[in-house]
Amino acid sequence: MNPDFDDPQLESEIDRQLKDLPELIAPRSLVPRTMQLIAQLAAVWQSRSWSTWPMSIRAAFIVVSVALLAATVPGLRAFEQNLLVPMFAKLNHWGASSEWIWNAATALASAGTAIVNHASKGIIFSCVLAIVLAYAACIGFGTVFVKLALSDAKKN
């Protein structure tokens, strides 16, 4: 050691002054922000891959999965007998009685054909034109409103 560096009096005085310093007060935000981060980290374990889950949660997951599987096998038979079989029987019954839907659709189509045959071409053309214009207006206004909304969002 360079003897010029030895100044015991200076060293002891600096030592005394520095050791006399009180603890600084931590910012008030330290505890809340750390606790918030801890809560966030604790909350996201389920969104990470299974291998990185906490060991206790992985063990619990395996136990619950096995229990669910064990309960499912006998439960499936009861489910089939008590729910699926009656449900399919009802569906077959509805299928047989669904003829009225086809009849109603056929009647509506016939009515439409009769209107077209008896109405003048001018009225039909006007109706088609009104429908096309309404559709175009919907698309146009929709595009304008979406662009306005996006431009406001970008400004904000």
Q: Give the binding site for another protein (CB under 8 A).
A: 1-2, 5, 7, 9-11, 13-15, 17-27, 29-31, 33-35, 37-39, 41
Residue with Cβ nearer another protein (21 or 73): 21
Rounded to a whole number of angstroms, the minimum distance from the CB of residue 63 to another protein is 22
| Cβ proximity of 71 and 80 under 8 Å | no
- Residues 120 and 5: their CA atoms lie apart, in Å, by 114
40 vs 117 by CB, closer to another protein: 40
Q: Residue 49 Cβ, how far from another protein at the closest point, in Å?
A: 19
Largest Cα span, the chain? 120
CB of 81 to another protein, least distance (A): 47
Cβ atoms of 45 and 57 closer than 8 Å: yes
Based on CB atoms, which residue is closest to another protein, 27 or 122? 27
Which is nearer to another protein, 44 or 73 (by Cβ)? 44
**Least distance from C-beta 44 to another protein, angstroms?**
14
Residue pair 115/108 in contact (Cβ under 8 Å)? The answer is no
Which residue's entry shows tokens 């309404």? 134
Q: Are 105 and 112 in contact (CB under 8 A)?
A: no
* Cα 91 to Cα 85: distance, rounded to the nearest angstrom: 10
Q: Which is nearer to another protein, 35 or 116 (CB)?
A: 35
In the complex, least distance from residue 74 CB atom to another protein, rounded to whole angstroms: 39
